[in-house]
C-alpha cells in the first residue's frame, strides 16, 4: 500500500511472503544473518490506513522448518506488517500475528528524513503468538500499544517484544503477556535510543507490573 489515502484492509489471511533468494549479511549481528526482501503487507507513504481482523503468518514455512547455513537460519521471510517511508495515521486492530520472527517494523531506518513527525500508529486488540521480535520495533514514530495479547508458549525464537528505536515514543497500556518460563521479564523491552516508553496496566503471566518510564 504505497502513496495512498483512506484504505481499509480487513478479513484477509496474508501468508508466506517467501523470498527464494535471501541475502547473506556477514555484518548483521555478531555472526551474520540471512535477510529476506518481502513483507506480507507493507505500508509506505500512505495515510489513514485501517488494518483490521486479518491473519498474518508464514504458511507452510514457519521458523522451525528453516534450514541452517553458515550457522544461521536461512530466513526466507521479512516482516509480517511493516509501516515505513513516512506513513501516518495507521490503525492495526483485532489481527492475529502468528509463528514468525520479525513481526512489525515501524520506521524506515535510523537516518530517515521522511519519517520524523509521522508514523503515528495505534495497535490494539491484536494477538501476537510465537513471535521472535518487533511487536513492534519503532523508529521516529509515536505508537499507542494497548489491549494486545502476547503469547509465547515456548520461547524458541523469542528475542524481545517492544523495541524503542531512535526518536520514538511508545505509550503501552493494558497489555497481557503470557511468557514461557525461559523468558525473563527484562527481555520484553529493548532500548535502541528511543525518546521514551510509558507503560501502565501490563499483566505478565497474570501479575501486574509497576508503571515504568524510560
Evaluated on CA atoms 193, 138, 129, 21, the torsion sign reads negative
Evaluated on CA atoms 180, 186, 189, 192, the torsion sign reads negative
Contact 23/15 with Cβ under 8 angstroms?
Answer: no
CA–CA separation, 208 vs 191, rounded Å? 22
User: Catalytic residue among 2, 47, 129, 134, which?
Assistant: 134
With helix as H, strand as E and coil as C, how does 129-161 read? Answer: EEEEECCCEECCCEEEEECCEEEECCCCCCCCC
**Catalytic status, residue 134:** yes
Residues involved in catalysis = 134
Amino acid at each position: 500500500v504505497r502513496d495512498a489515502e483512506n484504505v481499509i484492509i480487513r478479513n484477509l489471511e496474508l501468508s508466506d511472503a517467501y523470498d527464494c533468494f535471501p541475502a547473506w549479511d556477514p555484518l548483521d549481528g555478531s555472526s551474520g544473518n540471512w535477510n529476506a526482501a518481502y513483507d506480507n503487507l507493507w505500508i509506505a507513504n500512505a495515510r489513514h490506513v485501517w488494518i483490521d481482523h486479518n491473519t498474518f503468518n508464514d504458511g507452510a514455512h514457519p521458523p522451525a522448518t528453516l534450514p541452517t547455513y553458515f550457522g544461521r537460519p536461512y530466513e526466507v521471510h521479512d516482516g509480517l506488517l511493516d509501516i515505513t517511508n513516512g506513513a501516518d495515521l495507521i490503525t492495526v486492530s483485532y489481527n492475529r500475528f502468528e509463528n514468525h520472527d520479525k513481526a512489525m517494523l515501524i520506521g524506515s531506518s535510523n537516518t530517515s528524513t521522511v519519517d520524523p513527525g509521522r508514523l503515528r500508529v495505534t495497535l490494539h486488540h491484536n494477538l501476537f503468538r510465537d513471535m521472535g521480535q518487533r511487536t513492534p520495533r519503532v523508529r521516529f514514530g509515536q505508537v499507542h500499544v494497548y489491549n494486545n495479547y502476547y503469547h509465547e508458549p515456548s520461547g524458541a525464537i523469542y528475542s524481545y517484544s517492544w523495541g524503542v528505536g531512535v526518536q520514538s515514543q511508545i505509550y503501552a497500556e493494558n497489555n497481557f503477556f503470557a511468557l514461557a518460563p525461559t523468558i525473563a521479564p527484562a527481555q520484553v523491552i529493548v532500548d535502541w535510543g528511543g525518546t521514551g516508553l510509558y507503560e501502565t496496566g501490563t499483566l505478565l503471566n497474570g501479575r501486574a507490573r509497576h508503571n515504568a518510564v524510560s
